[in-house]
Amino acid sequence: MKAEQQAVRPLPSQRGNFGADRSSKEEELASALSPGISVLNYIIENIRATGKDPKRTLLGFFLGWVAFFVIWRVIPAPPDLSANGMTVLAIVVWACIMWVSEALPVGITGIGIPTLLIVTHALPWKDGKPPLVQVFGGFTTEVLWLCLFAFFVGAVMQLLKLDRRIALGLLDKLKASNVGQVIWGMFPVNVALGFLIPAANARAATLLPVINGINELLGDTARELDAKKAITIQGLVYAPMICGVFILTAHLPNMIMVGIFENHDFKNLGYLQWMILHLPYLGMFPLTQLWIKYYFRTSGVEISGGHAEIHKKHKELGPMSPGEWVLLALFGGVAVLFMLGKGSPILQVHGQQLGVIGLLATLVLFAPGLFPFKWKAVQDRTIWGTFLLLGGAITMTSAMTQSGLAKWLADIVHNQVVGLPWWGVVLALMVGTQIMRLGMLSNVAAVAMLAPVVFAMAGKLELHPVAFTLLVCNTDTFAYVLPTQITAAVIAYGTETFSTMDYAKVGSVSILLAILYGLVVIAPWYALWGIPVWNAAAPWPF
């Protein structure tokens, strides 16, 4: 009997296999009994496979939808905000959470905005039909098509490797050997373009291939990746916006404010006068550069091989190909059309919008025989996600205005500043403007809505209307929390060199610098030239 028992007793190795087999069956049983756990693990592993943090992604996705439904269906609308405005507020909060957490691809969040506007009836329906013209208005705006043209040009430049030639040529000319020199070199380029191209987004689109080419010269170490972030944010966002405030025709909100001033007998604020009043704003660039240099640790980060290597690589490219000359000629012609459009300081020869010029140039860009590339090659290098993001964000901006949400937010700020000293009023409005701008993309739309309200508030608060409007609305230009607040930032975000969290962290401090700079430097400078913000009765000096 003992022999039989020993015969049937499993060997040690067999006992191990038996245990493993039993464990496997237990896991299968547990999986069958807990399908929810298996599904969650499946989702988590898929999120990890995309390179995202599952906790942050799932939390952002959950909070975004919870906030949306709570604001839309649970919280009652305030007495002075319409139900439509409350619904739009829910969509704005949803979009901001999705963009910050990156729970959804930014382009999907972009097309989600008009989708939610339709589903929730956030904008009034007529005859049982949704207002598709308004809901998808962001996808028909000229700014969107200007950016698409820029994306196409960037794709063709990559295929021709012209972006690398431009980047190497620029760095070679500047004898740049480190990241700091590259960033400083991009500032005078932005100033020069500011006199010629009448929109910050157009300048950012122009410089996009150049910045991409410069970033390609850096490696993938942690410090070099941070350096790419610094170059992209400073070169494509901060520099174009700072230069835009300085030059009257370089930033469309400038023209909106001047128009309001002229309608209220504050005339003769011309090109030269504007530059004099806003000359100190150029000092913002060194300040932001110091902060970005510290935050992204760019000090001492060298371009691979230094200037000698850059010069060598530039020479190795050899002479330009016919395709490169064709693209440069086309883009040069477009730049001339940009320069000679409405508001040109040189000569106005046409009244076409920048986006229309971009569409016409796109037709020429894809004319048969100009370039030896198939459509798929260009398509694969075009930033379609950013295109969808931009259209959705512009739609959201319009919905905020149409629903009364934007004005409601501005009124809230106004009610809080009565009785404060001049600097307290300006500070409160600057901060309030930045909060309101979290859900708005366009500087033009924001200032078009803000400027008349701020100008009217000045009389009630006994402040100089021009100085007050300029201080508040110019600070709106430095809306740096989300890439979706500025078209130039949307273009920069399309390079995929930085995350929305990177941008928000560095941008929050940059906004504080801009606010303090306006109070400490710009307000006294305005007073020096005859428009003290604290004296509403000061005679108009121009």
Structure confidence at residue 144 as a pLDDT band (50, 70, 90): confident
* Cα 407–chain centre separation: 23
Contact between 242 and 282 under an 8 Å Cβ cutoff? The reply is: yes
Query: What is the mean pLDDT of the segment spanning 401-405?
Result: 82
Rounded distance between C-alpha atoms, residue 395 and residue 130, angstroms: 14
Rounded distance between C-alpha atoms, residue 530 and residue 532, angstroms: 6
Rounded distance between C-alpha atoms, residue 358 and residue 142, angstroms: 9
Query: What is the mean pLDDT of the segment spanning 107-128?
Result: 89
Rounded distance between C-alpha atoms, residue 244 and residue 323, angstroms: 32
Is this prediction's pTM over 0.75? no
Phi, then psi, of 102 in degrees rounded to 5 = 55, 35
3-state DSSP assignment of residue 302:
strand
pLDDT tens digits, one per residue of 146-192: 778 877 887 888 788 887 777 677 777 877 778 888 888 888 878 87
Rounded distance between C-alpha atoms, residue 31 and residue 40, angstroms: 12
Cβ contacts of 317 within 8 Å, gap of 6 or more: 161, 164, 165, 168
Residue 353 scores a pLDDT above 60: yes
DSSP state of 123: S
Query: What is the mean pLDDT of the segment spanning 14-18?
Result: 45
Query: What is the mean pLDDT of the segment spanning 230-242?
Result: 92
Q: What mean pLDDT, rounded, does the chain reach? A: 82
Structure confidence at residue 124 as a pLDDT band (50, 70, 90): confident
- Dig out the tokens for 129 from the structure: 């039909």
User: In terms of Cα–Cα distance, which of 255, 195, 207 is closest to 235?
Assistant: 207
User: In terms of Cα–Cα distance, which of 225, 257, 256, 245 is closest to 288?
Assistant: 245
- Ranking 89-98, 142-151, 336-345 by mean pLDDT, the lowest is 336-345
Q: What is the pLDDT of residue 407?
A: 75
pLDDT tens digits, one per residue of 421-436: 999 999 998 988 888 7
Q: What is the pLDDT of residue 521?
A: 96
Q: What is the pLDDT of residue 516?
A: 96
Structure confidence at residue 34 as a pLDDT band (50, 70, 90): low
Q: What percent of the chain has pLDDT over 70?
A: 88
Residue 30 scores a pLDDT above 90: no
Rounded distance between C-alpha atoms, residue 465 and residue 315, angstroms: 56
Q: What is the dihedral of CA 31, 36, 38, 44, to 10 degrees?
A: -160
- Dig out the tokens for 180 from the structure: 């700091």
pLDDT tens digits, one per residue of 239-295: 999 988 998 777 878 877 887 787 778 877 777 788 889 999 999 999 999 999 999
Query: Cα dist. 504→75, 195, 290, 510 in Å?
Result: 28, 29, 17, 10
User: In terms of Cα–Cα distance, which of 444, 395, 367 is closest to 95?
Assistant: 395
Q: What is the pLDDT of residue 345?
A: 56
How many alpha carbons fall within 13 Å on the CB side of residue 81?
Answer: 24
| Residue that wins the pLDDT comparison between 190 and 303 | 190
pLDDT tens digits, one per residue of 269-281: 777 788 889 999 9
- Dig out the tokens for 312 from the structure: 């060598």
Q: What is the pLDDT of residue 155?
A: 83
Residue 8 scores a pLDDT above 50: no
| Residue that wins the pLDDT comparison between 368 and 16 | 368
Instruction: Please write down the HEC assignment for all residues of 21-36.
Output: HHHHHHHHHHHHHCHH
| Residue that wins the pLDDT comparison between 33 and 243 | 243
Rounded distance between C-alpha atoms, residue 328 and residue 26, angstroms: 67
Q: What is the pLDDT of residue 197?
A: 64
Query: What stretches of 102-161 show up as alpha helix (H) in DSSP?
Result: 106-119, 132-135, 142-160
| Residue that wins the pLDDT comparison between 366 and 346 | 366
Kindly tell me the burial class for residue 497, based on how many C-beta atoms sit within 10 Å of its own C-beta (0-12, 13-18, 19 or more).
buried
User: In terms of Cα–Cα distance, which of 93, 109, 154 is closest to 391?
Assistant: 109
